[in-house]
Amino acid sequence: MTKKGEEILEKHRLLESVRVQLKSEFIGIDSIIDRVIDVITPWYLFPALQDRPLVVNLWGLTGVGKTSLVSRFVRLIGFENRYFKFDLGEAYDKEHSIKKGLQNLYPHHNGMPLVIAFDEFQLARTINSSDDEIDKGFIRNVWDILDNGKLVTTLNCYAQSSVYQLIHLMSMALANGSIIENGMVTEGQEMYIEVLKRFQHAYIPREEYEKQHDKKILRAIPSWSLEEIYEIALGKFKTVYELEKHINTLGGPELLQFLQKIYKDSLGQQIMDCSKGLVFVMGNLDEAFPMSHDLNLDISPDDFHRQSLEININTIRTALTRRFRPEQIARLGSCHLIYPAFSSESFRKLISAELLKISHRALEEGVKLEFDSSIHQLIFSEGVFPTQGVRPLFTTIHELIGSQAGKIMVERFRLGEDLNIVGMSWTGTHLVKTFRNKKGRMVTMEEEIDLSVHKLRKPRKDELQAVTAVHESGHAVISIGLMYRVPVSVHSVTSEAHMAGFTRNENSDRCLSFRELKSRLIALMGGLAAEEIIFGKENITLGAGSDLRMATRLVNEMLLESGMGEVPGFFEFPMSQPNVGLPPTERQRNIAESWLQEAYASAKSYLQSQKKWLLHLSGYLSEHPVIESAMLKEMALEYGSGIDEEALTENPRNNFYRSTLQSAVTSEADETVKFPKLETGIKAA
């Protein structure tokens, strides 16, 4: 095998080991890691064959590991010194910051394989929310790099003027008799010093003199000027030391000519070539990730995870059109990798991994830490903010567990160094630390900890929870009994300040028929109807406001926008106002009111028929903050009347349209299909 073949195989083996290593360090993104490795393999093995940068786009919620994955990947492939990251959030409105940073790549990385990362890319938007163009001249260089990897640039720096002045004064000194040999002033040293003092008053410190064959000599180029010459030499020398070695081979005229050429070359345009590069574009598109602003701690991470899995490349491209022009989106290429939101399982794996790290550090100090499963649950409850990724989780682990390390060490020495096995558990109110040794000696300590999220989720068992329990039970009973949809969870206590409770249903992509929408109207009326049935009409509360707004908006969409009324047309309010209130015309208003009244009457009627179930569920939720889907289903089957278990498992409406079409096609299969002539009633001109 040729040497080149061996090198390629070795690089391929390295990539595969990087794949394994990344999967061991990053949790929940195995598919992303596989895609990254697969996509960059041709670039890594054969960069010379690339005539434009390889662009890899990483999109996801904050804290899911976009930036950290790229940084770790770069280190593992040995590109630390060829990795250049630009934060477009920090660069916002700083006109020259990005261009200057990109220019710095020119001298030593021009035309070479390198990795560039543009982070917080969503902040580089060129179109505002009104579709008006935003002038961001400083960002144009980014688009040039993404397009073909070429950037035309010119140097404009202090080093140029400094070298120009050095050339002028050196020319003057040589004309007046100074002689330079091998980069040293051998004749006319005093005069050379006097001339260059005009250049730098502090010139000729002691280190500029050297002894050579017992003769005092002087460097022609001050040491502090070497850096400036190196800067404008545009990559002609790998190091300052290499530049100095070259200067030390030149006499006066040659040195002057050398500096003049360096200076002249620096004045022209340079084409910075990043065509052999790998470019990562990273960002969070709110338009593609609508859950990004939902900070409700009572929603399961799995709900957000499921929503994020529905986001595809078309979602991303549509979101990009809200921020960038079509020709700019085209420059991002077709490789868009979409990070899923962390699931509950991923968060729990992260917790286990971090606790294991803490255990290893403690073991180095002679302490064996053991964490009970209650500690894992405590961290999950306090530290998981589903749409904010790992950062709050790591902070919580540090505050609850990491901060205990010092206390444990102090207590261990106070109680006895032999008590080197420490178990930690959580009782629901206190953190318990149990110190023990191998001989059976044991000391237990308890510490009350102030937990902010835990307090918010505790059942209040007050008037508000009682009303909320009844209200949300009304929604849940109708959802299960009439719509065959078991909610993911029902909450009578929530950590949200503006919300007393809520019923969480899993997103469904079923076709929304007129019948389905009528059922949704009934379910929306369920909360208000349940309050009236249990507490009486005179005791209903203001809690149904949001339900009624949603119901009215849904009626408007059905009646005015979707052709479900008497007239199959599209209607809108005067002056294009959103259809949020009842329709303006009397006839449409009457229809809308009748639909709403029918829905409310149906909700009351059904809940009356299921009062035993409604009361049992309300009672449970008045004592507990939440009930999950499994228990909801059990309760429905035990206390509900006429609940079909099979229907709850497989909603009979799910395949209505497809099965109906297939039946119709089958029944007509043996008949000749005739297409009648279309009579429009419109005569041709």
Structure tokens at 239: 């190091």
Q: Identify the band that residue 320 occupies on the pLDDT scale cut at 50, 70 and 90.
A: very high
Confidence of residue 210 (pLDDT cuts 50, 70, 90): low
Identify the weakest region by mean pLDDT among 161-170, 196-205, 303-312, 482-491.
196-205
**Taking 60 as the threshold, does the pLDDT of residue 209 lie above it?**
no
Q: Is the pLDDT of residue 175 over 60?
A: yes
- Is the pLDDT score of 584 beyond 70? no
Specify the 3-state DSSP secondary structure of 370. Answer: strand
pTM greater than 0.75 (yes/no) = no
Q: Residue 684's pLDDT band (boundaries 50, 70, 90)?
A: very low
The whole-number average pLDDT for the span 567-596 is 71
Integer Cα distance of 47 and 40 in angstroms: 10
pLDDT bin (cut points 50, 70, 90) of residue 59 is very high
Distance CA 361, CA 350 (A): 17
Q: Which of 334, 327, 335 is closest to 144 using CA atoms?
A: 327
* Region of poorest pLDDT, from 106-110, 223-227, 350-354, 378-382: 106-110
Q: Classify burial at 11, counting beta carbons within 10 Å of its beta carbon; exposed 0-12, middle 13-18, buried 19 or more.
A: middle
Average pLDDT for 251-270: 85
Residue of 461 and 61 predicted with greater confidence:
61
Domain 463-655: which topology?
Methane Monooxygenase Hydroxylase; Chain G, domain 1 (1.20.58)
In a 3-state reduction of DSSP, which class is residue 153? Answer: strand
Its CATH class, for the domain covering 360-455, is: mainly alpha
Looking at per-residue pLDDT, the higher value among 380 and 273 belongs to 380
3-154+274-338 is classed in which CATH architecture? 3-Layer(aba) Sandwich (3.40)
pLDDT computed for residue 166 by the predictor: 87
Check whether 589 has a pLDDT greater than 50. yes
Cα-Cα-Cα-Cα torsion 221, 226, 231, 233, nearest 10 degrees, comes to 50
3-state secondary structure of 211: strand
> pLDDT of 467-494, one tens digit each?
999 999 999 999 999 888 899 889 988 8
Q: Is the pLDDT of residue 575 over 50?
A: no
Per residue in 105-114, pLDDT (tens digit) is 655 667 789 9
Q: Which of the 8 DSSP states describes residue 47?
A: G
Helical H runs in 121-222? 140-148, 158-175, 189-196
Interval 391-408 mean pLDDT: 86
**CB-based contacts of 390: which residues, under 8 Å, 6+ apart?**
63, 64, 65, 342, 350
CA–CA distances in Å: residue 126 to residues 135, 143, 321, 335, 543: 7, 11, 10, 21, 42
Segment 131-151, tens digit of pLDDT? 788 776 667 788 888 888 887
Q: What pLDDT score was predicted for residue 447?
A: 86
- pLDDT digits over 505-516, tens only? 876 656 677 888
Rounded to whole angstroms, the Cα distance separating 424 from 405 reads 11
* Cα–Cα distance, 31 to 339 (Å, whole number): 9
Domain ranges of the chain: 3-154+274-338, 158-268, 360-455, 463-655
Cβ-count burial 323-347 (b if 16+ within 10 Å, e if not): bbeeebeebbbebbbbbbbbbeebb
Region 32-47: mean pLDDT is 95
For the chain, the residue count is: 685
Instruction: Please report which confidence band the pLDDT of residue 253 belongs to, taking 50, 70 and 90 as the band edges.
Output: very high
C-beta of residue 284 within 8 angstroms of C-beta of residue 65: no
Query: Please, which pLDDT band fits residue 202 given cuts at 50, 70 and 90?
Result: very low
Q: Report the chain's mean pLDDT, rounded to a whole number.
A: 83
* Structural contact between residues 371 and 355, judged by C-beta atoms closer than 8 angstroms: yes
Least confident segment among 312-316, 400-404, 593-597: 400-404
Residue 681 to residues 336, 563, 677, 678, 685: CA-CA distances in angstroms?
A: 51, 22, 12, 9, 13
Residue of higher predicted confidence among 243 and 406: 243
Confidence tier at 315 by pLDDT (50, 70, 90): very high
Q: Is the pLDDT of residue 44 over 80?
A: yes
pLDDT tens-digit readout, 614-670? 999 999 999 998 898 899 999 999 999 988 888 777 666 667 777 777 888 877 665
pLDDT given at position 678: 44
User: Alpha-carbon distance 170 to 196, whole Å?
Assistant: 7
Ranking 83-97, 201-215, 333-347 by mean pLDDT, the lowest is: 201-215
